[in-house]
A and B are shown apart, each in its own frame.
Chain A
Amino acid sequence: MNQAQHGAPSQTTADAVTVTGVDKTFDTRSGQVHALQGINLTVKAGEFVSLIGPSGCGKSTLMRIIADLDQPTAGSVAVFGKSAGQARLDQDYGIAFQQAGLLPWRTVAANVGLPLELHGVGSAARAARVAELLSMVGLTEFADRYPDQLSGGMQQRVAIARSLAESPSLLLMDEPFGALDEMTRERMQTELVRICAETQAAVVFVTHSIPEAVYLSDRVVVMSARPGRIQEIVPMRLDGERTESLREDTRYFEMITAVREALHGGNPGGGIATGGLATGSVAASAPVRGAETR
């Protein structure tokens, strides 16, 4: 797919996301916390970019800033050439969180149709679009169920269908599969790959899991913590081929190793066998393993 450019981001309107010099500091009782420092990132239209890093590296904060849910302390964010706030008002992106965040008093269909309903789409057009989305995520026969009658994986699929409701050209996903078991997770990844191919949307995907990032992404943005910085951007050379057999391919494992080494700051073998020799790599590998055992 898109071969990544490591160079300075070019600011054109064709880019889905342009993050320029973003800093984010939080004021806490124990002083200022630098959540993000000097972040520069460009996500091209149709590109799948994962943000990966240890807990506290600010990857969720970065996604929230792109979504205009948080404001950067310094720097600027452009989404399709507009300000993040304008892009939010124009509904240029869809979003899915780690929690499905469905409204429990609404049926599956009413949850998926919520953004359409809020934006004044007529009930006939809405019903048609909801039916289309539910069939895309394979939940047609659950349209009239309530969220608490569904499993966690199904709820997450409803949330993804909801995020796609207005056919956004950008999807923001904050660990959407973080709470799922490994088998459901792999199936959801496969479905997401298919959905992205169908919708041609750019994706910013926050994750804890190296295999997940490698499997899904065109580029993996590896971040380090305190302060949150981009350590390295690893392009995936997997030829855009995302099938189940890829999970057993040597190139896939090579990419996993590449991302792992980037995470551990160029210390090969840091996280694989010994669990890290340097303190820095221990800190980096701990949350990753935590996510895998969840």
Chain B
Amino acid sequence: MSTAAVSRRGTAPGRKAMSARTESWLRIIAPVAVGAIVLGGWQFLVTVVGVSEYLLPSPASIATQFVEYLPSILSAMYITGMNALIGLLVGSILGIGLAALAANSRLVDGMSAPIVASIAVIPIVALAPVLNSMFGADSQFSRQAIAALATFVPVFINTLRGFRQTRAVHRDLMRVYAASPGQVLRTVTLPTAKPFIFTGIRIASSLAVISALVAEYFGGPRGGLGGLISTSAASSAYARAWAYVVASIVLGLLFYVATLALERLANRRGGGS
């Protein structure tokens, strides 16, 4: 009994001890290899097989464009990234706040359910032009608002689920201790909901970037990644358009990895050693 069974997350049981190192190598090498093969094949199609550069720009020419337009790419990433970040923050705060209200009040829960369901199915394509004309052609606000809306739904749904995970025995315990509502929130409700909240934010992070980017297609100030992709494509600079697409992927991954790290950190602090 004194030597407690220590079951921690890690490599799955049953795997050989020797393979742990090989496995970690494989985790890096496998995707790199896939990437190299795909890019190599792509380059082969364009340079050797002779697919037109106009139809399919080669990886090499995309890379060249990427380097050539790096300052513009970086500033575009910053503009779109800021819109997505502001949207993500505002949407998360609204989602967590409303979920907290819905968890505590059946009335708010009932009222919010249809609203959240309809927000979840609003097409960005329809909303973007409307908001653009509402807030003017030189405002980034409509993009931030769209990113916030896209963020709101998964954060709200996950947070609400998290708030409902509180175990009956913990609720009883808090009542026994005559804990104030604030104490219950701090000691039981929030820590229980925390992993769910961060999962919601992680899911929302990619959506925020995509929404902020797509919203740029429908008017408003240029300069963001979405705007530059459509401008480049419109002027038949396909290699440059692809370079901006690569930048969008990098931005999306950046958001995802950052929120994933945040989620891991939150769960580690919460779940022990």
A residues whose Cβ falls under 8 Å from a Cβ of B = 67-69, 88-89, 91, 95, 97, 99, 101, 103-105, 107, 114-115, 118-119, 142, 145-146, 148-151, 153-154, 184
Max count, chain B CB within 10 A of own CB: residue among A68, A103, A154 = A103
B176 x A151 contact (CB < 8 A): no
C-alpha gap A276/B178 in the complex (Å): 45
Shortest Cβ distance from B175 into A: residue: A69
Shortest Cβ distance from A95 into B: residue: B176
B116-130 Cβ-contact flags toward A at 8 Å (1 or 0): 000000000000000
**Chain B interface bracket (under 10, 10 to 19, 20 to 34, 35 or more):** 20 to 34
B177 x A105 contact (CB < 8 A): no
A151 x B178 contact (CB < 8 A): no
Interface Cβ pair total, 8 Å cutoff:
61
Residues of chain B from 176 to 208 with CB closer than 8 A to chain A in the complex? 176-179, 183, 187-188, 191
Listed by A's residue number, 25 A-B pairs whose Cβ atoms lie within 8 Å are A88-B176, A91-B177, A91-B178, A97-B169, A99-B169, A101-B173, A103-B170, A103-B187, A103-B188, A104-B271, A105-B191, A105-B269, A105-B270, A105-B271, A105-B272, A114-B177, A114-B187, A118-B177, A145-B4, A146-B272, A148-B7, A148-B272, A149-B272, A151-B5, A184-B1
A103's partner among B4, B191, B273 (CB-CB below 8 A) is B191
Residues of chain B lying within 8 A (CB to CB) of residue A97: 169, 172-173
C-alpha gap A154/B2 in the complex (Å): 9
CB of B241, distance to nearest CB on chain A (Å): 48
B residues whose Cβ falls under 8 Å from a Cβ of A = 1, 4-7, 167, 169-170, 172-173, 175-179, 183, 187-188, 191, 269-273
A69 x B6 contact (CB < 8 A): no
C-alpha gap A136/B272 in the complex (Å): 24
B4 x A149 contact (CB < 8 A): yes
Residues of chain A lying within 8 A (CB to CB) of residue B183: 118
CB of B182, distance to nearest CB on chain A (Å): 11
A67 x B191 contact (CB < 8 A): no
C-alpha gap A19/B175 in the complex (Å): 21
Could you list 13 further interchain pairs (A-B, Cβ under 8 angstroms) beyond the known A101-B173, A148-B272? A88-B175, A95-B173, A95-B176, A103-B187, A105-B191, A105-B269, A105-B272, A107-B272, A118-B183, A119-B177, A146-B271, A146-B273, A154-B4
CB of A91, distance to nearest CB on chain B (Å): 7
Max count, chain B CB within 10 A of own CB: residue among A118, A145, A154 = A118
C-alpha gap A142/B273 in the complex (Å): 13
Residues of chain A lying within 8 A (CB to CB) of residue B178: 88-89, 91
Residues of chain B lying within 8 A (CB to CB) of residue A184: 1
C-alpha gap A149/B187 in the complex (Å): 20
C-alpha gap A142/B1 in the complex (Å): 12
B187 x A118 contact (CB < 8 A): yes
Residues of chain B lying within 8 A (CB to CB) of residue A67: 176
Residues of chain A lying within 8 A (CB to CB) of residue B173: 95, 97, 101
- Contacts A118-B179, A119-B177 given: A151-B4 contact, CB under 8 Å? yes
CB of B174, distance to nearest CB on chain A (Å): 8
C-alpha gap A115/B172 in the complex (Å): 13
